[in-house]
Every structure is written in structure tokens, then in C-alpha cells.
Amino acid sequence: MLIDEPVSAETTPVGHPSQITGARGCFRVRRVLAQWQEPGEARFYRLQVTTPDGPAIAEVVGPAAGAAGPWTLRRFWP
């Protein structure tokens, strides 16, 4: 399901999201399933997350490596 809503993200020392929080709630990241980035572009993450209803998959977009910027929850699969 395409969502495209802003979220905040806590990150690990290497910049991977460890928790995302937004209008849909707070989700703890269990593991990073995939990540990809075109040179100079935002970084995409596909994550396995824990929700109050159980595990789910979330796709988030964060700033380019080493940059500051917004995070967006792009897709969510309960």
C-alpha cells in the first residue's frame, strides 16, 4: 500500500533506521531486509518491523548517506 507520509527515525551508528514513528504509530525495526540508493539520491530501506498487531514490512526513504533530512514512510504491508 502506497502511503508517502512523513515519519521520524531513530538510527543506528551506521545510519540504518532502528525505530520509525509517525501517524500510524511507533514501529521497532527488527532487521533491514534491503537497502538501495542511486548516487546523490535518497536512500531506500525495506524493513521488517514490529507493530502492536505483529510483524510487518515497511519501506522508508531517508536522506542520502551522511546527510541530514526528512524520512518518509513510502509503503507498508501488515
Q: Residue 61's pLDDT is what?
A: 96
Range of the domain at 37: 2-77
The structural domain count of the chain equals 1
pLDDT by residue, tens only, the chain of 78 residues: 789 999 999 999 988 999 999 999 999 999 999 999 988 888 999 999 999 999 999 999 998 766 778 999 999 999
Q: How far is CA 11 from CA 1, 2, 31, 77, 78, in A?
A: 24, 23, 12, 21, 22
Expressed in percent and rounded to 5, the helix, strand and coil fractions of the chain are 0, 70, 30
Q: Residue 66's pLDDT is what?
A: 67
